[in-house]
């Protein structure tokens, strides 16, 4: 039998000493108390078993059990019940006692089996608690780790979005600056669109989408031959046809960027008109709501 630390409370000196001797003989460490009060005083979480008498002066076994339960140590309690007090035994079990042993102790084998079973129960409770605690610690640490990784990923994504947008803006600005007629075009479009957006009381997210869409709205011109853009005088029909492709090309450039799907519609349709006479799709009126 595993060696255990056992707390006994019995006001009867003879019974107390007898139980103490038997348990000590089996190698258990025993703390023997003469009352419930003393037992509560001596009670710590490292006991494996508590043996309680029911009838004791002052605090009786049931009251003592109540206080033991409040500590929530998970230590099994065995009651010592006098002969003919079965109703006490039932009450004890109902109150959460693990088992009961009739007094006087006549059958040592049964006594030992009951003690052994209670100690095993204690071992099981301790193992279960340790497992639960480990599991909780592990879950807490994994959650923390995951939150940290998510934060890093979000930060990385944000940086990636900002740098991609900046790269496109730089390319577009460089293209515009080559020509005095288009220099500052994107900046002006962005400023005007944002003023209109604010006047329309767009939400913060909508304004961000609008700002980003404006910054890349003419990115398609990177693909269209710049000689057409810089050409003095009106464009030929063929040149116009090519020029009118830039919103569609721009939309295709940003299409693979998952974080710019909201901007896609604005880029593709920034040359549409309310009367439907714009390009590339000839959308008009409510069709232009994204």
Judged by the rule CB under 5 A, the positions of this chain that interact with Fe ion are 218
Cβ of residue 231: shortest distance to Fe ion, in angstroms? 16
Cβ of residue 180: shortest distance to Fe ion, in angstroms? 18
Whichever of 53 and 218 has its CB closer to Fe ion, that residue is 218
Cβ of residue 220: shortest distance to Fe ion, in angstroms? 7
What are the angstrom distances between the C-alpha of 177 and each of 81, 116, 200, 229, 233?
99, 90, 31, 12, 19
d(CA 220, CA 234): 20
User: In terms of Cα–Cα distance, which of 272, 270, 250 is closest to 189?
Assistant: 270
Max Cα distance, the chain (Å): 120
User: In terms of Cα–Cα distance, which of 178, 175, 188 is closest to 219?
Assistant: 175
Cβ of residue 222: shortest distance to Fe ion, in angstroms? 12
What are the angstrom distances between the C-alpha of 38 and each of 24, 59, 101, 140, 290?
20, 10, 21, 39, 78
Its sign, for the CA torsion 196, 198, 203, 208, is positive
Q: What is the signed CA dihedral for 241, 242, 247, 252, rounded to 10 degrees?
A: 130
Helices and strands counted in the chain (H then E)? 11, 5
Whichever of 116 and 244 has its CB closer to Fe ion, that residue is 244
C-alpha of 4 from chain center: 40
Cβ of residue 201: shortest distance to Fe ion, in angstroms? 26
Which residue's C-beta sits nearest to Fe ion?
218
Whichever of 123 and 274 has its CB closer to Fe ion, that residue is 274
Whichever of 248 and 262 has its CB closer to Fe ion, that residue is 248
Whichever of 218 and 263 has its CB closer to Fe ion, that residue is 218
Whichever of 55 and 173 has its CB closer to Fe ion, that residue is 173
Cβ of residue 246: shortest distance to Fe ion, in angstroms? 6
């Amino acid at each position: 039998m595993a060696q255990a630390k056992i707390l006994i409370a019995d006001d009867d000196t003879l019974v107390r000493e007898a139980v103490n001797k038997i348990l000590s003989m089996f190698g258990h460490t025993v703390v023997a108390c003469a009352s419930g009060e003393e037992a509560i005083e001596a009670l710590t979480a490292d006991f494996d078993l508590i043996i309680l008498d029911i009838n004791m002066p002052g605090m009786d076994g049931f009251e003592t059990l109540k206080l033991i339960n409040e500590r929530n140590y998970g230590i099994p309690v065995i009651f010592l019940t006098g002969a003919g007090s079965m109703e006490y035994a039932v009450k004890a079990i109902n109150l959460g006692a693990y088992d009961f042993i009739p007094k006087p102790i006549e059958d040592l084998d049964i006594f030992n089996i009951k003690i052994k079973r209670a100690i095993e129960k204690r071992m099981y409770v301790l193992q279960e608690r340790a497992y639960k605690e480990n599991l909780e610690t592990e879950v807490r640490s994994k959650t923390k780790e995951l939150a940290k990784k998510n934060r890093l990923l979000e930060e990385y994504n944000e940086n990636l979005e900002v740098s991609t947008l900046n790269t496109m803006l730089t390319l577009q600005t460089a293209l515009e600056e080559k020509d005095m007629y288009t220099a500052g075009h994107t900046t002006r479009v962005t400023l005007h669109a944002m003023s209109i957006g604010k006047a329309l009381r767009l939400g913060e997210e909508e304004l961000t989408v609008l700002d980003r869409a404006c910054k890349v709205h003419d990115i398609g011109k990177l693909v269209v031959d710049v000689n057409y853009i810089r050409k003095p005088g009106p464009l030929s029909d063929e040149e116009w046809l090519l020029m009118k492709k830039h919103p569609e090309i721009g939309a295709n450039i940003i299409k693979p960027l998952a974080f710019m799907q909201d901007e896609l519609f604005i880029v593709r349709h920034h040359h549409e008109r309310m009367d439907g006479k714009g390009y590339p799709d000839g959308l008009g009126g409510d069709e232009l709501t994204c």
